[in-house]
Structure 1
């Protein structure tokens, strides 16, 4: 288990290196104090994953450096049952002049493995990296993705009880990222505790049991991952346009914006244009959004996002990307319809979120964002049975080796 209680960390920031020397000699202050963390507390139990999100400078990396012993907190306590390793800033603990093989021995030693332990795990570490032909080359010749492979493999094979992952994982190719995610899930299933820092909202929703939102070194909120991601989106919108953004929420849905245009209602209609919370995969369907203009807006964007039961975004679009211009006058009511000739979504439970803003994203100016505005279920149709999120309709052919079709 990881237990962090009321940790705080400040840094002295100097305009130039010479200011440090002047401060020592003249006994005068030539620095300003930056509060990286302020009374941060959380716990991660055995077999649980905690996500940490926030904008750049919020304090995420500082927490990870304190957890891994690179930094010491000014105040507060950190208790970890067992060994903690992880993937922090790319290349940490590596020597660019050494070969990949030498760096395995050096880095694993820093993580507490004996030489005998390293030799026993060496083949497994190298096999996971898939860098066999490059393992004896100096890592200064490696790409960033190759360095990430090496760093992750060493850290995860060092028998940790807890594991921390920073954005360094994002530099890998899609194949190796999936391989790392599978390894992290297996580590969690075996009782390992994980701290996961990422800007990938879907990854946080899938991997994490709980999440915290940091802003300016403070914990703004601690809750389930989807709630935290929604609040994070709200804070981004608020920062972009100032204090005119207001937050409103309840147990089932949450919304925010300056409400110059308001979402009055969101509903679903089946293939017969009847209101329904049950849709058939592959059949026609509509999402109908009722808008009320509190002010006249000449450049309105209406967007939708569909999420699965885990909060993953499986589909999203908006009128800006569809090149549809929308104007609404003060006091006017508009009905916006998203019509799907074939609603090619896999069977399961979903929610629809709706956003009103200008331009391509809600960061420009957010009028109203409503999460989980309506919930629905998709059931299988009578044909084209499949699993997954997306219903594709491929042409299927059988050919002999001569190239002739047999069907």
Structure 2
């Protein structure tokens, strides 16, 4: 059995919330010890054991308590209850550039951070070249960090954290601003760390990275520990949370069949997706997109799809007026807004002849998902031609979020599904 690097036992973090500042004073001066606050449980009964050499992921939705837990592990915060034991020197990237002085140069900040970690100037003299080489920010190393781009900031912060020879590295979303080459370099360093028997605790919304690099994962939801175990199994539970299909009061039920969803007119599909609260919605609305869904192979409405699997993208349109030959369309973009792929019923040569006033029609696009693992946005449209002019009845730009999970990505936007053989 490997030695324990980090042990978290029954950790709870409670914050007192006051409706107004004077309530804090009234409570502190109350002779009857009357409470003027309400308790907010940021974390409730969290336990996790991380062994030497492991890379453990911590996942959950925004506000679930992930960063709070890491701050407790690193000593930035104290738990309300429970205990945390850390065996070894710890280096943390909790917030990008935390501990940096914006007026200091990159070189000066390297020594400043080294001092904060307990290293002498002589120690940092030995490490300075490795840190500068890893950061790859050139002459900017001599400039104040306030002049840095976010990418350079990330490079320097990670270079310092990774090259001070910690036993335990804590990373909280610090790589999201780096470019793909820098991220690849950091992940290679992760693997080097693991090979040396070092420990990594990794918080990220990039579930593909968690799946690829983390031996085990902890899932936190609303401050509560939901699951700890093999990353692929924990991510499967997280998918249900993202699809609003996780029951906190009981076991996860088998996936919902498509036919069942279609036979429940009162059910709103998009409520089970991660939708855009600021979706761009326009058109003259003779036909209106009233609902949409992403349905996986098991019939579950979900915002997450496994790469290589088949899925259905559905859009339901209500006709406020009779429309001849309406065209239904879907488009998939990456996070930068680049259109990756898409189609419509005209391109597929399968248009609806007539959309009658007062009726609905549901177009179902079924396809195999060979997109690389990552995060995408789906747009929907319903258009048509009137007197040879294209009329936009309704378009929903960036209506919902799609995440493709993959344990293996190739180059570019999609996987060619190549097979490799060798000939003599």
State the TM bucket, normalised to the shorter chain: 0.5 to 0.7
Q: Is the CA contact (8 Å cut-off) linking 1:7 and 1:39 kept in structure 2?
A: yes
Q: 1: CA distance between counterparts of 2:202 and 2:217? A: 9
- The DSSP-based 3-state class of the residue aligned with 1:199 is coil
- The structural deviation recorded for 1:4 is 1.0
Match of 1:4 in 2: 8
Match of 1:72 in 2: 78
Does the Cα contact within 8 Å between 1:261 and 1:293 map onto a contact in 2? yes
Q: Tell whether the 8 Å contact from 2:217 to 2:230 is kept in structure 1 after alignment.
A: yes
**What is the CA–CA distance in structure 2 between the aligned matches of 1:344 and 1:211, rounded to whole Å?**
26
Contact 2:11 2:44 in 1 (8 A): yes
Please, which of 125, 130, 137 is the counterpart of residue 131 of structure 2? Answer: 125
Report the secondary structure of 2:175's partner residue.
helix
Q: SS of the residue aligned with 1:187?
A: helix
Instruction: Say if 1:86 and 1:152, in contact at 8 Å, map to a contact too.
Output: no
Task: Tell me what 2:39 maps to.
Answer: 33
Match of 1:319 in 2: 313
Deviations 1:292-340 (CA, angstroms, capped at 9, x unpaired)? 954469966465589xxxx97367764353445999xxxxxxxx89578
Partner of 1:171, secondary structure, is coil
CA offset at residue 42 of structure 1?
0.7
> 1:211 maps to what in 2?
217
Q: Distance in 2 between matches of 1:303 and 1:233?
A: 13
For residues 75 and 314 of structure 1, do their structure 2 counterparts lie closer, same or farther at Cα, with a shift above 3 Å needed?
A: same
Q: Distance in 1 between matches of 2:28 and 2:9?
A: 33
Label 1:337 to 1:149 Cα distance change in 2 as closer, same or farther (>3 A): closer
Which runs of structure 2 are paired with 1:45-64 in the superposition (5 Å)?
A: 45-64=51-70
- Displacement of 1:73 in angstroms is 1.2
Going from structure 1 to structure 2, the CA distance change for 1:314 and 1:160 (only over 3 Å counts) comes to: farther
For residues 87-106 of structure 1, the aligned pairs below 5 Å read: 87-106=93-112
Provide the residue aligned with 2:279 in structure 1. none
Residue 161 of structure 2 is aligned with which of 155, 160, 165?
A: 155
Inter-partner Cα distance in structure 2 for 1:132 and 1:97: 18
- Would the aligned equivalents of 2:310 and 2:367 in 1 still touch at CA under 8 Å? no
Alpha-carbon spacing, 1:174–1:15, altered in 2? closer, same or farther (3 Å): farther
Partner SS for 1:78: strand
What is the alpha-carbon distance in structure 1 between the residues aligned to residue 245 and residue 370 of structure 2?
36
SS at match of 2:49: strand
- TM-score normalised by L of structure 1: 0.65
What's the C-alpha RMSD, in Å, of the aligned pairs? Answer: 4.1
Matched residue, 1:289: none
Is 1:248 aligned to 2:273, yes or no?
no
Say if 1:200 and 1:345 are closer, same or farther in 2 by CA, change over 3 A.
closer
Shift of 1:236: 2.3
Flag the 1:223–1:300 CA change in 2: closer, same or farther, 3 A. same
- Which string of whole-angstrom CA distances, capped at 9 and with x for unpartnered residues, describes residues 116-171 of structure 1? 11010001101100123111211111122211111111111111111111112111
Query: Shift of residue 223 of structure 1?
Result: 2.1
Q: CA deviation at 1:390?
A: 2.9
After TM superposition, where is structure 1 displaced by more than 6 Å over at least 4 residues in a row?
Answer: 242-246, 343-346, 359-364
Return 5+ residue gaps in structure 2 as ranges: 268-289, 299-304, 315-329, 331-342, 346-350, 356-363, 373-395, 419-424
User: Which residue is equivalent to 1:390?
Assistant: 415
The two structures have a TM-score, normalised by structure 2, of 0.63
Q: Is the 8 A contact 1:237 1:245 kept in 2?
A: no
CA contact under 8 A between 2:312 and 2:367: conserved in structure 1? no
Please give the alpha-carbon distance, in whole angstroms, between the structure 2 residues aligned to 1:260 and 1:304: 9
Is 1:188 the counterpart of 2:203? The answer is: no
Mark the CA change 1:9 to 1:55 in structure 2 (over 3 Å): closer, same or farther.
same
Change (3 A) 1:148 1:314: farther
1-structure distance, mates of 2:163, 2:66: 24
Counterparts of residues 7-406 of structure 1 (less than 5 Å): 7-15=11-19, 19-21=23-25, 23-25=27-29, 29-238=35-244, 247-249=252-254, 255=255, 257=256, 259=257, 261-262=259-260, 293-295=262-264, 301=293, 303=295, 313=307, 318-320=312-314, 321=330, 322-323=343-344, 390-391=415-416
In the aligned structure 1, how far is the partner of 2:84 from the partner of 2:131? 29
Give CA-to-partner distance per residue, 1:23-77, whole Å, 9 cap, x none.
Answer: 4456764433211111110111111111111111111001110111111112212
How many Å separate the matches in 1 of 2:218 and 2:306?
18
Displacement of 1:17 after TM fit? 5.0
Q: 1:173 & 1:24 partners in 2: Cα distance?
A: 50
